[in-house]
Structure 1
Amino acid sequence: MRFSATQTAEQLLAPPVYRRMRPLTQMVDAAWQGSDEAAVARRMSLIAFAIRIVSAAIAFFSQVVLARWTGTFDYGIYVFVWTTMIILGSLSCFGFQTAVIRFLPMYRRQEDFDRLRGLLLASRLFVFISASIVAAAGIGLVLLLGERIESYYVVPFILAFTCLPMLSLGDVLDGTARANSWPVRALTPTYILRPLLLLCFMAAAHIAGFAASAATAVIAAVLATFSTALLQLVIVTRNLDALYPPGPRKTDMAPWMKVAVPIFLVEGFFFLLTNADVLMVGLYMRPDDVAVYYATVKTLALVHFVFFAVKAGVAQEFAARSGAGERDSLQTFARQTVRWTFWPSLLMGAAVLLLGKFLLGLFGAEFAAGYPFLFILVAGVVLRASIGPAESLLNMTGNQNICAVIFAAVLALNVVLNMILIPRYGLFGAATATAAATLVEAGLLMFVVHRRVGVLMFVFAPSKPGEATV
């Protein structure tokens, strides 16, 4: 067999699977070349990817420690309460955390610094006040319901509601940093610092002799959330003050809310959809079952973080290319993001299935019961990755209304399937319902993106002639 002198080692040695991975390797090579907006987006995605790898490991380790420290029952209580808080914290932003990403790059390009400064201040004040109102209402509802709630949930819920404004503030600071292409300042506080502080406060509680209960775990999470949000507020504010000149602020709440409310519906439905299975298991089954299912979902997060990493890096680039004169550029870039999402997700999915029983066993011997469900859930995540960050493309191109409708329909389907399958099949039913809803979601998003934006966001869709692969 003869080889040309111009053939590379990759061409000679790379197996078919590796050649399939060439879009990813080319992305890594190209990410650090050039200073155009596409290169910035690639760098943001890669930095976000690296942060999410580290954060996934830290979060996984912290949950293992928490599960072993509190035991299955109390860990299940903590999981149900804290998952509810994460959802409510995002919902309490009413879409402003993403509206900032939509408007800030536009104002920066137009040098409309009056509106930019107004947006930065208004977004933070709005989410803090709205989340405080939701928190007060939540505490009042828990006290009002009284005996209708299982007694072991009352105190953890009341404690958790106290940090809801900080969770929402952290979300809008994340969006502000992403809008300025600051991935480290956007993601590090929530995904690295907060779980590390959670571990530190848990260790302090253990040393101080506090009971290893769900309430103690929630207190540790609340303290970690307050510390993280306040530190992020100081850092991001200082950076913004240095970047944008001081001056008057112009508040344009009407156009901001016109965009934010549909995005609120989209992201609200998305968060509920992402966590619906955990919540439904919590409603129908005991905390022990919630604990096993959540441990399986946290193991699955080692795959799912790829999607969120790419999404974090490309949203502002979708917004920047949404002008009428950049349609071809937007379509090409959108197809590239699908490849960035799918192939790493496929590799991580295979690795998680290979090591799944061992990883679940770290939580405790009883958690290994979740391993069979992992196959169903991984299949759903990989399928979802095959269309890339399609909902971000819709949100950033003015199609947030139809995106909200899609997620509402899929959420309703997910809830109905869980209501039917969980009582009959338990945790297997929850996993099946989630995977089935994910299949419908991917199909609807792919169809609507093709109709509205003119791009077929599917990893195996043929590229246009002459289209770049990265």
Structure 2
Amino acid sequence: MDSPPAATSLAALRARLTSLFGGSNEASLTNRLAGTIFLIRVVSAGLAYGAQILLARWMGGSDYGIYVYVWTWVLLLGSMLDFGISASAQKIIPEYRARGELDRLRGFLSGSRWGTLAASSVVSLLLAALVWALSPLIGDATVIPLYLGCLTLPAFVVANTQDGIARSHDWMRLGLMPQFIIRQALIIGFTAGLFVLGFELGAVAAMAASCAAVWIAMLGQMIALNRRLAGHVPPGPRAYDVRGWLATSLPILLVESFYLLLSYTDVLVLQQFSTPEEVGIYYAVVKTLALVSFIHYAMSATTAHRFTEYNAAGDKVRLAAYVRHAIVWTFWPSLVATLALLALGEPLLWLFGPQFTSGYGIMFVAAIGLMVRAAIGPVERLLNMLGHQHVCALAYALAFAVNLALCLILVPRFGGYGAAAATSAALTFETVMLFWIVRKRLGLHVLAFGSKG
């Protein structure tokens, strides 16, 4: 007796999903790890989205805009002050393991965190002194939130470093959940508690809650990571090749820095030419489209250290196939997510408040750049892991210059639409540059569609 068509279709779907995610081959493992990262980021996005909606409604437009401005600085500087260690960990750790240099591995696992904590603490103190010196120009409402942002930075930096270490061991949940789930849940819990207790929930209170959440999540992650490493790396002497770490990390830092500047220039320039309310609306648009970026992030975080492994083994065929797989699984899910978010964008923005729906049109402009970037997948990680950090940094530097110039031209006249157009144009320029660099230097076709030759 033949099986019903529905049962046959269901069995075929189950078999297809098993081949994609349930196998023991590299592609299935990558899909599972990337899926884990993506799910964590999606849950995180839900928590962050809920937090932003609550903050926007509880705080009012002006205080919310100040909070967004300060938090953007924390995200930008906090992602740079690890000096590239969080990204280079995915290159350094596999190389130490491949060469059997366990003394240097142990030194890196400890020294990288203590070093980034010390360096970021010094920088935070200098930034706090700068805020104090410039306080007459900054404005009373922004000064204390900026001080709290400086206090947040060291914990944020160490958490990023620990994330890189955990991801280098394929411990995706340990690397990401403290930052993206626990931290967001704590921010919601602390701010909701202040609101219920009757405290005025302004930018100061919101930043204080965020600062406490970052420190608690980082310390919990540190305890869990130390326990996991103790059972994974045998005890023994430690060697600290600080010069070698910096030689690898600083070029990657240059890449990451220009990428981050490219990512946050729109909000920072908009703050200078628009009202806090308009900044808040634009930030809500960016948060709504964040799901698309999470797909790119998930594949980048999963594949980076494997690019290093395959290149170190001299297996070019395996590397090329793996790169192709990463690109395809970045672009097509990103396309589906973008179409869904654009279809639901207006009601999602309404959740922030009725006035936030005025940013719906901006979503379409901002989505263009995200889709163009997704078409080449995580090739910036490929270049970084294969030793082409300098030319990758140059591409990002030029893209940042394009973004800054266009923002300064378009934002004063067109506001949020100008910021979105400038960023999409810069991302398109960056994508063309990276495609050309990989084609010329590695001989790989890194577009999700078209010729594979």
* TM-score for the superposition, normalised by structure 2: 0.95
Q: What pairs up with 1:48-59 in 2 under 5 angstroms?
A: 48-59=37-48
Q: Name the counterpart of 1:427.
A: 416
Segments of 5+ residues of structure 1 without an aligned counterpart are 14-21, 465-470
148, 158, 172: which is aligned to 2:137?
Answer: 148
The one-letter code of the counterpart of 2:443 is: G
The one-letter code of the counterpart of 2:418 is: G
Q: Mark the CA change 1:37 to 1:103 in structure 2 (over 3 Å): closer, same or farther.
A: farther
The one-letter code of the counterpart of 2:234 is: P
The one-letter code of the counterpart of 2:326 is: T
The offset of 1:9, in angstroms, is 8.5
Structure 1: distance between partners of 2:127 and 2:380:
30
Q: Mark the CA change 1:12 to 1:113 in structure 2 (over 3 Å): closer, same or farther.
A: closer
318, 327, 338: which is aligned to 1:338?
Answer: 327
The offset of 1:79, in angstroms, is 0.3
1:60-79 superposed Cα distances (whole Å, 9 cap, x missing partner)? 11111111111111110000
User: What is the number of residues matched between the two proteins?
Assistant: 450
Contact 2:20 2:27 in 1 (8 A): no
The offset of 1:384, in angstroms, is 0.8
Asked whether 1:237 is paired with 2:234, we answer no
The one-letter code of the counterpart of 1:328 is: V
Q: Which moved more, 1:399-408 or 1:46-55?
A: 46-55
Structure 2: distance between partners of 1:66 and 1:291:
11
Please identify runs of 4+ aligned residues in structure 1 that moved more than 6 A. 8-13
Q: Name the counterpart of 1:31.
A: 21
Asked whether 1:213 is paired with 2:210, we answer no
Structure 2: distance between partners of 1:168 and 1:378:
29
Contact 1:269 1:404 in 2 (8 A): yes
Q: Name the counterpart of 1:255.
A: 244
Structure 2: distance between partners of 1:10 and 1:288:
53
Structure 1: distance between partners of 2:190 and 2:116:
27
The offset of 1:276, in angstroms, is 1.1
The offset of 1:165, in angstroms, is 0.4
Q: Percent identity?
A: 38
Q: Which moved more, 1:395-404 or 1:40-49?
A: 40-49
Q: Mark the CA change 1:428 to 1:367 in structure 2 (over 3 Å): closer, same or farther.
A: same
Q: Mark the CA change 1:257 to 1:38 in structure 2 (over 3 Å): closer, same or farther.
A: farther
366, 372, 375: which is aligned to 1:383?
Answer: 372
Contact 1:449 1:457 in 2 (8 A): yes
The one-letter code of the counterpart of 2:375 is: S
Asked whether 1:108 is paired with 2:110, we answer no
Contact 2:411 2:419 in 1 (8 A): yes
The offset of 1:27, in angstroms, is 7.4
Contact 1:311 1:389 in 2 (8 A): yes
Asked whether 1:450 is paired with 2:450, we answer no
Structure 1: distance between partners of 2:353 and 2:319:
47
The one-letter code of the counterpart of 2:360 is: Y
Asked whether 1:78 is paired with 2:74, we answer no
Structure 1: distance between partners of 2:244 and 2:7:
51
Asked whether 1:270 is paired with 2:259, we answer yes
Query: Secondary structure of the equivalent of 1:457?
Result: coil
1:315-365 superposed Cα distances (whole Å, 9 cap, x missing partner)? 111111112621111111101111100111101100100000000000001
Q: Mark the CA change 1:28 to 1:132 in structure 2 (over 3 Å): closer, same or farther.
A: farther
State the Cα RMSD in Å. 2.2
Contact 1:80 1:278 in 2 (8 A): yes
Contact 1:118 1:249 in 2 (8 A): yes
The offset of 1:303, in angstroms, is 1.8
Q: Mark the CA change 1:188 to 1:65 in structure 2 (over 3 Å): closer, same or farther.
A: same
Contact 2:19 2:28 in 1 (8 A): no
The offset of 1:236, in angstroms, is 0.6
The one-letter code of the counterpart of 2:163 is: D
1:141-167 superposed Cα distances (whole Å, 9 cap, x missing partner)? 000012111222111001111111000
Contact 1:38 1:317 in 2 (8 A): no
Q: Name the counterpart of 1:283.
A: 272
Query: Secondary structure of the equivalent of 2:240?
Result: coil
1:428-454 superposed Cα distances (whole Å, 9 cap, x missing partner)? 111110110011011111111111222
Contact 1:273 1:410 in 2 (8 A): yes
Asked whether 1:61 is paired with 2:61, we answer no
The one-letter code of the counterpart of 1:332 is: A
The offset of 1:31, in angstroms, is 2.9
* TM-score for the superposition, normalised by structure 1: 0.92
Contact 1:95 1:264 in 2 (8 A): yes
Q: Name the counterpart of 2:405.
A: 416
Contact 1:394 1:400 in 2 (8 A): yes
Asked whether 1:168 is paired with 2:157, we answer yes
Asked whether 1:117 is paired with 2:106, we answer yes
Q: Name the counterpart of 1:19.
A: none
Q: Name the counterpart of 2:296.
A: 307
Q: What pairs up with 1:317-332 in 2 under 5 angstroms?
A: 317-323=306-312, 325-332=314-321
1:91-113 superposed Cα distances (whole Å, 9 cap, x missing partner)? 11010111111111121222211
Structure 2: distance between partners of 1:271 and 1:10:
48
Asked whether 1:44 is paired with 2:33, we answer yes
